[in-house]
Amino acid sequence: MTMFTRNDKSQDNPAMQPSPQSAKSDTHATVTAMTEPKRPQAYAQPLNAASSATHAPSVSLISKALKITGQLESTEDIQIEGEVDGDVRAVSVVVGSNAKVKGTVRGEQVQLSGQVDGKIEAKKVILTRTARMSGDVVHQDITIESGAFIDGHCKPEYGKTDVKAPKAAIAASNA
């Protein structure tokens, strides 16, 4: 036995080298000895969620088997493969080829391969060949692949606030 086998100690011979816990009270020693082998089993299973917490993802994935009715917001990316009945807002939204969204999709970048009934508002919009878009697209930069379906207006919008600000400034200077 090497010097640094703290974990092996109790297993090798608990009677010869009692752990400090059992040394405190002999009456409890038998109780702990009985419960100790069982205890890890009791919460060995639950622990894996705690380990998953250490790498909790910040991006969201709505898989095919999932349907959300309501509002979906994120300050990171969202990938939708399922069904969303409501508004989606995120930095980057990817709507997969079998996904369906009913509502407004907002983001810095929206990539659509599935179906959207509603509206897309994004700086950069990509409609792939499998995209089905029913509704308006408000964009600054749009890519439409051959095969994409659009029923609605495509409207470029280059920062409304930039237009308003000078007008306000003029009104202020006139007053």
Partner 1 sequence: MAAFLNLTKPQQRGRKFEPQPASQLGTASLVKGVLDSEGVVEIHGTFHGRINADCLILGAMGNIEGDIVAREVRIAGRLLGRIFALTVTLEETADVTGRIFHNAVTVARGARFEGRMPWRPANYFETLDQLPETQP
Per CB under 8 A, residues contacting partner 1 are 42-43, 45-47, 49-50, 52-53, 56-76, 78, 82, 86
Burial class (CB in 10 A: 0-12, 13-18, 19+), 133: buried
Report, in Å, the least distance between residue 44 CB and partner 1. 10
Q: Letter for the amino acid at 98?
A: N
Report, in Å, the least distance between residue 53 CB and partner 1. 3
C-beta closer to partner 1: residue 42 or 172: 42
C-beta closer to partner 1: residue 64 or 164: 64
Report, in Å, the least distance between residue 57 CB and partner 1. 5
CA distances from 119 to 42, 46, 89, 154 (A): 51, 43, 12, 10
C-beta closer to partner 1: residue 71 or 140: 71
C-beta closer to partner 1: residue 79 or 139: 79
Q: Are 97 and 80 within 8 A, CB to CB?
A: no
Largest CA-CA distance found in the chain, in angstroms, rounded: 95
Report, in Å, the least distance between residue 127 CB and partner 1. 24
Burial class (CB in 10 A: 0-12, 13-18, 19+), 120: buried
- CB count in 10 Å sphere of residue 110: 26
Quote the radius of gyration of the chain (alpha carbons, Å): 30
Structure tokens at 81: 């493969």
- The residue written with tokens 């600054």 in the block is 140
Report, in Å, the least distance between residue 101 CB and partner 1. 13
C-beta closer to partner 1: residue 116 or 142: 116
